[in-house]
Amino acid sequence: MSYDNENIFAKIIRGEFDCIKVYEDENTIAFMDIMPQADGHTLVIAKESAETLPDLSDAGAAACIKTVKKIVEAVKTAMGVSAATVMQLNGAGAGQSVPHIHFHVIPGSILGARPHAREMEDQDKLKGFAEKIITALG
């Protein structure tokens, strides 16, 4: 399967579509999920054009995990929780809704989370959570 350069995350990477960004480096971007499963739900995406984990280079995977680690700690601090769920839905059959590799960082347990990709959240509320996460990142 070939990579879809018109997916929403590819457009975010190119700056063609806005997101509520909390972190960016040369290989990754982290931003607020617009249909969060919990308050503070953050996505980490690779800038590399890859749909699933097997499509991602080893260097891209390492960069993603490095960023995921940073975001997990910042989300826990910002949202006042002791744990976070890290999830990666690998392919449409697993529930992946955007065909670009991404990791979900969800404050707390997935057991109490809202359903995946169901309801849009208020943008101002997301911006408030983003500010807390950015502050926690230092």
Residue tagged 């408030």 (tokens):
128
* Annotation says 41 is catalytic: no
Amino acid 63: pLDDT? 98
- Residues 30, 24: contact at Cβ < 8 Å? yes
The structure's pTM equals 0.96
How would CATH label the architecture of 8-137? Answer: 2-Layer Sandwich (3.30)
Count of CB atoms within 10 A of residue 42's CB?
Answer: 29
Catalytic pick among 41, 100, 102, 104: 102
| Mean pLDDT in residue range 113-131 | 93
Confidence tier at 50 by pLDDT (50, 70, 90): very high
